[in-house]
Amino acid sequence: MHIGKSIILLVITLAVFIFIWQNNPEISKRQAEQLVIQNLEEKYGGNFEVRNIEQVNAGAGVTMFVEHIYVLCVYSDTLHVEITVEINRDGTDMSDDYEYYLYRDRVETEIHAISKEQDGWEVNSVEPCYWYYNDQKSENFDAFKKDEDKLELDAKISISDPANANLYASLCNYINAFLEQGYNMCIKISYKDRTEILNGLGYGDVVTEEDMEQVIHALTVDMSSDC
């Protein structure tokens, strides 16, 4: 009885696989190259040249249902860099990291241009986290910055003097300068061995001195009893 059920299940699984395969035939490497070049030229303009293409497996689970994806290394004569493009097995879904190379220098410039008063605190790092392989082109640089699916700044700040009179105001000014420019942020504020995280901040948000007071309070309350 159990053997019969197993055979029936195997037949159904095989039938589903054949149906999916027939309705989603895999494109050839040559077809993938042509589709990628056409897509990139329509999105960004300029000329592109495929330097390398590999077919890889993506996903997990039953082996026969693992998706085949082409990963291409493509040279852009506009940016003078090699970008990475992914295209799924039937050629209907494509994504690339072109905008990372297009905007990364401007992001770095803006990060370093924002002044730091650092009254009682210091910036350990502000790292841009790029979510690569975006399938839609940003309208412009501002739109790219505001898209949380493409970029987020990961800022790490340490408090050196919680009693500094200008601490709350100067911290708020620094953080809000990024938010006003449209950046999405995750901010980790630390004091000694404690850390508080301000997450999900983006364009239109404002960090107030009251907000900062609560964060610093959480970092320092009962600190003496921890010793």
Task: Give dist(CA 40, CA 75) in Å, integer.
Answer: 11
pLDDT value of position 90: 85
- CA 87 to chain CA centroid, nearest Å: 18
Q: What is the pLDDT of residues 43-79, one digit of tens each?
A: 999 999 999 999 887 655 444 445 678 999 999 999 9
CA angle in degrees (0–180, nearest 5) for 62-66-70: 170
pTM: 0.79
Q: What is the pLDDT of residues 134-180, one digit of tens each?
A: 788 999 999 999 999 999 999 999 999 999 999 999 999 999 999 99
